[in-house]
Amino acid sequence: MARHLITSAIPYINGIKHLGNLVGSQLPADLYARYLRARGHEVLFLCATDEHGTPAELAAAKAGKPVDDYCAEMWGVQAKIAEGFRLSFDHFGRSSSDQNKKLTQHFAKVLDDEGLIREVSETQMYSHADGRYLPDRYIEGTCPNCGFEDARGDQCDNCTKQLDPVDLINPRSTISGSTDLEMRDTKHLYLRQSEMKDKLDAWIDSKTDWPVLTTSIAKKWLHDGDGLQDRGITRDLDWGVPVQKGDEPWPGMEGKVFYVWFDAPIEYIACSQEWVDAGKGDDWARWWRTDKGADDVRYTQFMGKDNVPFHTLSFPTTILGSNEPWKLVDYIKSFNYLNYDGGQFSTSRGRGVFMDQALEILPADYWRWWLLSNVPESSDSEFTWDSFQQGVNKDLADVLGNFASRVTKFCRSKFSEAVPEGGTPGAREEQLMADLTAKIAEYQTHMEAIEIRKAAASLRGAWVLGNEYLQEVAPWSTIKEDPAQAAMQIRLALNMIRLYAVISSPFIPDACADLLSCMKADDAEWPTDIAAALKAMPEGHAFTVPDVTFRKITDAEREDWQERFAGTRD
RNA sequence: GGCGCGGUAGCUCAGUUGGUUAGAGCGAUCGACUCAUAAUCGAUAGGUCGGGAGUUCAAGUCUCCCCCACGCCA
């Protein structure tokens, strides 16, 4: 029994996420959380929406709503979809919470006290019509280099030369199109990450068991070019955490907010406070403060590769730099990208399958199984409808679902809807126990190492053992000469259904809950002794035949969906 | 152009610190079985491990060069 803190990278509030976003952090994090809970560990699994920044403001404006209303509404949408996928967050928070506001301001003050924040003066374009500063890509104009008329503030798409927005000729706002712009001097705060470079470097070096993807990205940012750079942590926006030194104002920073990447990871901590304030827990500090009981917590973060720099460098700078006893991450599991049918999933272009659409066409378990057993761990992987159909039909319908079906229906027709009596196990049954024990041990090893593809393969291997056994002992033949022996074989097989439901539930929770309910099993404890677990349902124990646990995806459906999702959304 | 992850059977991928005849799943072919969601089980075929050179008694596994795909950055 250990204590595990698990966080998934927090999805941006703007719009519904696609399957690539889901498989890159939330879903594997959920798998791990469910597994550890099933093993009897104490788990706190947190996620939230990342709500600040310009994209949220623009999306709200487009929807004709105040930004806070828009975010509240979208939080509700995302929370509902997360529930649909059975993501078992202990709390799904919001980075715009008061708790996060206070904590972000607290960290800013402490970091400033530690000398890790410096002020920088910059010149930025201010738009009178929009009433705001225009960061790089919100401004366009004529390229001073090649004369291209639609050059963006940060780069000219025509000559590729990198630009500074103030150099553009005839600049205009991409928001309103206004040309009523003015260069203004403005001050910003920078986090002195470069000061922490050696400390971070040593810390990353000590993490020899982390995925290469995680450490190689961190190392690149630490050593590439001039090394780790300081980063601006403030913006001239309305929507965000107001820049303050704790409770005190920050002279010269009036009207500015912290930049999203600074306050977003702090939400991991704030989320636990929201969890307490929502009445779901009573002590957040024992998860986050090493001086208040978090010493024995193992903290694991899940994220896509694009988030690695923030979690290996920026957020650790905040934590380590504060010199306060905050819990630092122990393990960072990062993922590559999932591609869609020969290209990328794209939120902006609406390409691919989005979370709400996925749930409209099939239950969560179908998606969970395929996505997890094909999770992009070692390299980018690809979603194709063909592969999805094949994986679901073969693994779920044929191997697992059909096993439950053949066993329960055979028992009902030859015996009754109760675990049959008689017979004595022999050598073949001992072999089965040994095989199952080994396969499940292998599965557990992979789950503990968060080797998800391998864990899925082992789990499937355990399912196959049941079919192999049945095929070999052939109770449909045995029953003709020795009904008692057939009863023993089926009794074992019925118990295997229960066992499979228990160990598979981290992957496919709904189907497993159904199977357990059909088996009328009140014991869903994780098996430590397989032989004992296969006696959990004694002779005479009643059950019901499950409905089709997993249905097959037909060729017509596959073609239909392939067609339907080929274009773009909206 | 720089950097990163890859390039292993038709497809998707495993291959630990270099060491016996390179593995799995799917697909294909053949066979067995008939309890079951036309499901299951078994067998077989198929790879000069992107190319070249080198180190070594021994290289998919280390070194160098090159090629290809994808991604990130400037």
Task: Summarize pLDDT for A141-166 with one digit per residue, the tens.
Answer: 777 766 667 776 666 555 555 566 67
Q: What is the spatial distance, in angstroms and rounded to an integer, between the CA atom of A368 and the C1' atom of B39?
A: 23
- CA A374 to CA A453: how far, in whole Å? 6
By the 10 Å C-beta count (0-12 exposed, 13-18 middle, 19+ buried), A208 is classed as exposed
Question: Which residues, other chains included, contact A509 with Cβ-Cβ below 8 Å and sequence gap of 6+?
Answer: A34, A86, A365, A368
C-beta neighbour count of A206 within 10 angstroms: 9
Measuring from the CA of residue A545 to each C1', which nucleotide is nearest? B36
Q: What is the spatial distance, in angstroms and rounded to an integer, between the CA atom of A457 and the C1' atom of B68?
A: 30
Identity of the residue numbered A202: A
Q: What is the spatial distance, in angstroms and rounded to an integer, between the CA atom of A498 and the C1' atom of B54?
A: 57
- CA A452 to CA A292: how far, in whole Å? 33
Measuring from the CA of residue A451 to each C1', which nucleotide is nearest? B14
Chain centroid offset of residue A137 CA: 29
Is the pTM value of this prediction over 0.80?
Answer: yes
A256, A236 contact by CB (below 8 A): yes
Q: What is the spatial distance, in angstroms and rounded to an integer, between the CA atom of A375 and the C1' atom of B24?
A: 17
User: How many CA atoms within 13 Å lie on the side-chain side of A566?
Assistant: 7
Least confident of A224-233, A250-259, A460-469: A224-233
Alpha helices by DSSP H, listed for A39-66, are 54-63
- CA A53 to CA A57: how far, in whole Å? 7
Indicate if the pLDDT at residue A201 is higher than 70.
yes
Measuring from the CA of residue A396 to each C1', which nucleotide is nearest? B37
- Residue range A461-491, pLDDT digits in tens: 999 999 999 999 999 999 999 999 999 999 9
For chain A, give the mean pLDDT.
89
Distances (CA, A) of A381 to A77, A221, A371: 28, 24, 10
- CA A514 to CA A400: how far, in whole Å? 13
Looking at residue A146, its pLDDT comes to 65
Secondary structure tally for chain A: helices H, strands E = 22, 19
3-state secondary structure of A344: strand
Within 7 A of a protein CB, which nucleotides of strand B?
A: 3-6, 11-15, 24-27, 32-37, 39-42, 70-71, 74
- The pair of structure tokens assigned to A352 is 């691919």
Residue nearest to nucleotide B72 (CA to C1'): A306
> What are the residues facing A249 on neighbouring strands?
A244
Distances (CA, A) of A136 to A128, A142, A309: 17, 14, 21
| Phi-psi sector, A86: left (phi>0), alpha (psi -120 to 50), beta | left
Q: What is the spatial distance, in angstroms and rounded to an integer, between the CA atom of A390 and the C1' atom of B11?
A: 11
Measuring from the CA of residue A466 to each C1', which nucleotide is nearest? B40
Residue nearest to nucleotide B36 (CA to C1'): A406
Q: What is the spatial distance, in angstroms and rounded to an integer, between the CA atom of A388 and the C1' atom of B25?
A: 14
C-beta neighbour count of A559 within 10 angstroms: 12
- CA A262 to CA A248: how far, in whole Å? 19
Q: What is the spatial distance, in angstroms and rounded to an integer, between the CA atom of A302 and the C1' atom of B69?
A: 27
Q: What is the spatial distance, in angstroms and rounded to an integer, between the CA atom of A471 and the C1' atom of B32?
A: 10
Indicate if the pLDDT at residue A570 is higher than 50.
no
Measuring from the CA of residue A413 to each C1', which nucleotide is nearest? B35
Question: Which residues, other chains included, contact A227 with Cβ-Cβ below 8 Å and sequence gap of 6+?
Answer: A194, A197
Least confident of A260-264, A414-418, A494-498: A260-264
Measuring from the CA of residue A212 to each C1', which nucleotide is nearest? B5
Chain centroid offset of residue A213 CA: 16
- The pair of structure tokens assigned to A52 is 């600040």
Question: Which residues, other chains included, contact A220 with Cβ-Cβ below 8 Å and sequence gap of 6+?
Answer: none
Q: What is the spatial distance, in angstroms and rounded to an integer, between the CA atom of A467 and the C1' atom of B37?
A: 14
Least confident of A27-36, A141-150, A208-217, A398-407: A141-150
- Residue range A413-472, pLDDT digits in tens: 999 999 999 999 999 999 999 999 999 998 998 899 898 988 999 999 999 999 999 999
Measuring from the CA of residue A453 to each C1', which nucleotide is nearest? B13
Give the pLDDT band (50/70/90) at residue A133: confident
User: Can you spell out the DSSP letters for A255-317?
Assistant: T-EE-HHHHHHHHHHHHHHHHHHTTS-S-SHHHHBGGGTGGGEEEEEEEEGGGHHIIIIIHHH
A112 sits in which H/E element: helix A98-113
Residue nearest to nucleotide B41 (CA to C1'): A471
Q: What is the spatial distance, in angstroms and rounded to an integer, between the CA atom of A400 and the C1' atom of B37?
A: 10
Give ∠ CA A246-A248-A250 in degrees, rounded to 5.
95
Measuring from the CA of residue A551 to each C1', which nucleotide is nearest? B37
Q: What is the spatial distance, in angstroms and rounded to an integer, between the CA atom of A471 and the C1' atom of B21?
A: 31
Measuring from the CA of residue A550 to each C1', which nucleotide is nearest? B37
Structure-token match 């082992």, residue found: A458
Q: Give 3-state DSSP helix, strand, coil % of chain A, rounded to 5.
A: 50, 15, 35
Residue nearest to nucleotide B14 (CA to C1'): A454
- CA A228 to CA A334: how far, in whole Å? 20
Indicate if the pLDDT at residue A539 is higher than 80.
yes
- Residue range A169-192, pLDDT digits in tens: 788 877 777 888 888 888 889 999
